[in-house]
A and B are shown apart, each in its own frame.
Chain A
Amino acid sequence: MHSSNRSQRPSAGFVFVTALVGAVLVLTGCTAGSSSSSSSGSSMTVFNGATGTVAENFNPFTPTALQPTFGVIYETLFYYNLTSSEAKPAPQIATDYKWNTDGTQMTVTTRAGVKWSDGTPFSAADVAYTINLINKVPALNTNGINATAQATGPDTVVLQFASTSFVQEANILGNQPIVPEHIWKNIADPTTNINKNPIGTGPYTLKSFDPQSYVLAKNTKYWSSGQPKIDTVRYIALSNADAASAALIAGKVDWMSSYFPGLKQLIGSHKNLAYVNTPANTTELQACTNVSLGCTGAQTDVAVRQAIFYAVDRTQLNNLAESGFGSVGSPTLLLPDRDKSWISDPKNVTSPAKADVAKSESILQAAGYTKGSDGIYEKNGQRVSVTVQVISGYSDYISAVSTMTSELKAAGIELKESQVSVNESSANVTNGNYELSIANFGASVSTNPYYMYWQNYDSSGTAPVGQPSKGDGARYVNPVVDAALKAAAATNDPAVQKQQYALIQTEIVRDMPYISLFVTPTLTEFNTTNVTNWPTNENTYAFPASWKNWDNGIVLRQLEPRK
């Protein structure tokens, strides 16, 4: 008798959900249409590797400042192009520099006619102010510049050093952002100020900021006339490679530098997507080498390190781990193409492309190792078994290690993998608690090998295992190398430096504290629908990675909207 109640009213929950769905559909209809930007003029979107939420910070003295601060908003005196073998830097807001004979004084000539983005003229006084500021407040001095400065004219500034300081040149000229005196002298605490309204000399200024994306607008007072041409640049955040690849294919991002396995496949059918590969670093196996400093493991024996060097098949490594984008590196850790002029011995220009198992085994046998019953070499009861640490997010390195495990097994060496987080990896390397670690080094500011060699081979930075090292994580101590580095630092003459580097290279190729594997690719992807004049493989006018400081400004001011 209650059958009429069968057709009951839907429950409240059901009604609520239907209403919500309806509202969503209506609103999406509204908002989907208004996705075009409200401002007129050309615009582009950049992804520079930012994940998660974005914190507002445009203070160029803090390392956590948003990346466009370095190069797009603030500029350096000169610009070093890491893709070219030309060692001399190009003028930016300075046009000339000169050292005195003993390297204690540098005179810089600044460019005339440069204006800050608020209209105030730029002068040498701003350069002097910046150098003196970082000298006064050590917490701001992330470049380790040890100088005082004085402006001797409207466009001349003289920097004074306590001792011979040729090696500081690259950092001063190419890595130090210059800030306006008239703004910063009024800032109470330069270490914590987030500099909401950055005034710089760079091609763009900040237009609007939001924790998920920020927009830069063209600096109409930029010193290079006719540049930049793109009106607004937007930066966004994406949490992982999958999201980045989706955004790229959907055309939401114009410029990004992410490594995608199978990149060629991904963008194969999309005519408007292009990529460029600009190698800058060398991937190598860093070894804890020094027994007297506390290192343990089979890799402390130089014969084992050399055996590993020859047993690795670099062609297969490149194909499987880097999808063929890498290339064979050099045992000197320099780049075979760009740095050829710095490599003295022609034999050391490239590492062997294929595995040479015979040579690897003969090196071990000559050092007294015999093959055990399990196929692994051993000496005095200790098997040649080494553990290599990899960061667990780096899929290309994980593939590389599993590839190498098979390759080394064929040569009688056992390789074990230990996946760790970024934290643990850097802690282990700094404290020497590792046997092998897969690492990635290269030129940082200038292509002169001095900086990389000093950072990684000079024993002044090292420390015993268990204590933090400032550099030379491999615990390599070689007086010949230390002396050569000192001599190279004392001069400005490339010919003299090259002689010293030759000495260094002989040592490091023989001792191999860092076992060179391959040249790491740096892939950059572009969308050419709206923007042209990107760097290409034939014309790399700048290092094209979207995350690269300083080059980002060079690239952005060259780009043009496609008509």
Chain B
Amino acid sequence: MTPVLAQGPDTVVAATKRAGVRQVLPSMTPKLASGLIIAGLVILFGVIGPLVVGDPNAIGDVGLSGPSGTHILGTTQTGQDVFSQLAYATRGSLIIGFIVGVLAMFFSAFFGIVGAYVGGFLDDLFSLFTNVMLVIPGLPLVIVMSSYVQQKSIYLIAGVLAVTSWAGGARVLRSVTLSLRNRDYVAAAKLSGERTWRIMLVEILPNLVPVMASQFVFAIIFAILGEAGLSFLGLGASGALTWGTMLFYAQNGLALRLGAWWWFIPPGLLIAVFGAALSLINFSIDEIINPKLRDQTRSARKRWTLSEEQLKRVSVEDVP
């Protein structure tokens, strides 16, 4: 509950806006910094990599060989350069992740926020649709949808993954919007004659940004992992190069069993590293949504620069 009720509606809007922006940006902690740096490096590799490496599909008579001077990460079974493939695969997976993130965010925002704010029949309808989409089993639906189209491209896979993943986020956004709708400053804005879409955009949306950002990041992780799982089952965009399809070929080529770790480990490792970086970013977003998470963590305590004695006293006082 903000104590600014006493002031007029204009000041309410202004105050929320200014405080909103500063409030939304996270403070730079080591966790956030490392997350951003790692994610940034991976994205850079995916964007610039394909422009500098060689042809990922060029076969060579050398066959399966380990890291060497000419091939930094060795070659696949048909003599293709693993490092080049990795660069293109990074780009492919990032494209899928980004598309799914944006689409899922858009769908969940539309079905969650609009319905909840407008209320009435529209809310019931959207809520029903969201809940039905939520209970339809995702993976089997993805399997069936993706085997329907002949030439499976990464865009098709991204679309299919987006369609099956927005429902959860919509539900969360709906419940948050419902609670926000009843806040006093929204009532004040309505009373002062603001148009519905303006209220949604200016009052409600800024408060939802942290939640939506967290969902966006989650959706990216989900999309990349989902695409990897689909490709492993042989149902993904096996003609395109993504981390998932690289793992599919490595698995089919019995890479692990033949000891070709350079083919099997890097794609999975990149998924893990990128996902971990995104999780770290998500943590920081969590801390915005729930500031109590920020305090009292071990790393936070280190910054208090208390002495041993003082630290012990604090610990005893608040923890059994």
Contacts and interface: CB of A to CB of B under 8 A. Distances in A.
Interface in A397-444: 398-399, 402-403, 405-406, 417-421, 423-424
Contact of A8 (B59, B239, B320): B320
A321 B77 CA distance: 8
B66 interface: no
B234 interface: yes
A242 B256 contact: yes
A563 interface: no
Interface in B50-74: 57-59, 61, 63-64
Contacts of B29: none
B201 interface: no
A393 B251 CA distance: 11
A315 to B, nearest CB: 10
A52 interface: no
B78 A402 contact: yes
Contacts of A266: 254, 257-258
A325 B150 CA distance: 31
A96 B79 CA distance: 54
Interface stretch (A154-162, A221-229, A257-265, A520-528): A257-265
A499 interface: no
A316 B79 CA distance: 12
A9 to B, nearest CB: 12
Interface in B127-179: 147, 150-152
A15 B55 CA distance: 55
A420 B147 CA distance: 8
B59 A418 contact: no
B79 A320 contact: yes
Contacts of B257: 242, 245-246, 249, 266
B320 A406 contact: no
Contacts of A260: 254
A429 B316 CA distance: 75
B258 A262 contact: yes
Interface in A471-495: none
B251 A265 contact: no
A16 B234 CA distance: 38
Contact of B61 (A8, A320, A423): A320
Contacts of B57: 402, 405-406
Contacts of A6: 320
B239 A393 contact: no
Contacts of A424: 147, 150
A307 B257 CA distance: 39
Chain A, interface SS category: helix
Contacts of A321: 78
A316 B254 contact: no
A320 B63 contact: yes
Interface in B61-105: 61, 63-64, 77-80
A35 interface: no
A532 B64 CA distance: 33
B253 interface: yes
A518 to B, nearest CB: 15
Interface string B244-256: 0000010111101
A249 B256 CA distance: 14
Nearest to B253: A261
A54 B123 CA distance: 48
A418 B239 CA distance: 7
Given A321-B78, A418-B150, A262 B320 contact: no
A241 B320 contact: no
A420 B77 contact: no
Contacts of B79: 320
A398 B80 CA distance: 13
A: contact size bracket: 35 or more
Nearest to B80: A402
B78 A403 contact: yes
Contacts of A423: 147
B215 interface: no
B158 to A, nearest CB: 17
Given A245-B254, A246-B257, A261 B77 contact: yes
A261 B263 CA distance: 14
A136 B67 CA distance: 66
Nearest to B260: A262
Nearest to B235: A421
A249 B251 CA distance: 17
A261 B253 CA distance: 6
B264 to A, nearest CB: 11
B17 to A, nearest CB: 46
A541 B256 CA distance: 35
Interface in A247-296: 249, 260-262, 265-266
B238 A262 contact: no
B58 A406 contact: yes
Interface string A1-36: 011011010000000000000000000000000000
A320 B78 contact: yes
Nearest to A423: B147
A432 B59 CA distance: 31
Given A5-B320, A245-B257, A319-B61, A395 B151 contact: no
A242 B78 CA distance: 18
A142 interface: no
A362 interface: no
A392 interface: yes
Contacts of B258: 261-262, 265-266
A419 B61 contact: no
A242 B251 contact: yes
A419 B238 contact: yes
A110 B181 CA distance: 89
A402 B77 CA distance: 12
B234 A241 contact: no
Contacts of A392: 234, 238
B185 to A, nearest CB: 43
Contacts of A5: 320
Contact of A3 (B80, B150, B316): B316
A403 B80 CA distance: 10
A265 B64 CA distance: 11
A73 B251 CA distance: 36
B254 A262 contact: yes
Interface of A: 2-3, 5-6, 8, 240-242, 245-246, 249, 260-262, 265-266, 316, 319-321, 392-393, 395, 398-399, 402-403, 405-406, 417-421, 423-424
Interface of B: 57-59, 61, 63-64, 77-80, 147, 150-152, 234-235, 238-239, 249, 251-254, 256-258, 316, 320
By Cβ-Cβ distance, the 8 closest A-B pairs, closest first, are A395-B252, A419-B238, A392-B238, A5-B320, A320-B78, A399-B78, A419-B239, A262-B258
22 contacts: A2-B316, A5-B320, A6-B320, A240-B251, A241-B252, A242-B257, A260-B254, A265-B258, A266-B257, A319-B63, A320-B61, A320-B77, A395-B249, A398-B238, A399-B59, A402-B80, A403-B78, A406-B57, A406-B59, A419-B152, A419-B238, A419-B239
Given A321-B78, A395-B249, 20 more contacts: A6-B320, A241-B252, A242-B254, A242-B256, A242-B257, A261-B64, A262-B253, A266-B257, A266-B258, A316-B61, A320-B61, A320-B79, A399-B59, A399-B78, A402-B57, A406-B58, A406-B59, A418-B150, A418-B151, A419-B152
